[in-house]
Amino acid sequence: MRVFSSLGLLFFIICGCATETSPPVVRSVPRSERMDLVVLDFVNNTSGARAAEFQPWELGLASMMMTDLESMGLFNIISRDDVRDVSRKRGLQFTSVQTDENALEVGRLVAARYVLTGSFLEMSGKLRVEARVFSVDQGMQLGAAAVSGKTHEFFELQKQLVIEISPYLEAVLDDAETSVIAENIETTSVDASLNNYAGEIAVLQAQECRERGEPQRADAFMEEAKQKFETALQHDPGYKRAKENLAKLVMGIPMTL
């Protein structure tokens, strides 16, 4: 019965992913006319033991921002793989940087028009998230935005942040477009979100182990990723991103994060 249940769950997940539709795009600008944008992983300023708990949002908040910015239909989002490959050749940290100059350097290396960086701080159930936009051509910061609220309302805070930062990216949205962005929510569960992005981090670690010729460690990270995706779905069975991640992992489909 356990085997049957597991196969049934996998079949349900795969079928659900097969009918998955992409988030609605608010504008239909041809790819050739879109602005190239790189979003770097957010810096986790949470202190003490809680820093490790919220570490997955270093990747997660950046990914949520990328999803929403892509759905505006105005940007070509430069992938993490491209950032990693180019940055490694120059000896830079692959997606998260600590200085303005490093952020601009990554932008120049991948030929981006804009670079978006961010940071967050979680303390006693409160969350503050900040984002900054840099012009690569001008070599300067164009603007910044910050939002604060309760940690369990992270999904609303992230939407507010992407809307507030978008004017610095030449993306002034009207009310209808703002509504489309605001309604595209991955999950409202903190635990589901943290577990999913912990799984995605494990997948990235597995990829790095394979590149170094360490297949056993890679397999261990992939098993960890599977467990994290399953846990995410326990917290939110309707979490589509976690469903897709788990299905791809089980079927051996390469994951682009």
Residue 257 burial by Cβ neighbours in a 10 Å radius (0-12, 13-18, 19+): middle
- Residue 102 clears pLDDT 90, i.e. is over it: no
Q: What is the pLDDT of residues 33-46, one digit of tens each?
A: 999 999 999 999 99
- What are the structure tokens assigned to 215, written together? 């297949």
Q: What is the pLDDT of residues 104-127, one digit of tens each?
A: 988 999 999 999 999 999 999 999
Tell me what pLDDT residue 14 has.
47
Question: pLDDT band for position 23 (50/70/90)?
Answer: low
* CATH hierarchy code of domain 22-185: 3.40.50.10610
CATH 3.40.50.10610 residue ranges for the chain = 22-185
Lowest mean pLDDT among 9-18, 26-35, 48-57: 9-18
- Residue 21 clears pLDDT 70, i.e. is over it: no
The span from the CA of 145 to the CA of 158, in Å, is 11
The span from the CA of 219 to the CA of 205, in Å, is 10
Question: pLDDT band for position 97 (50/70/90)?
Answer: low
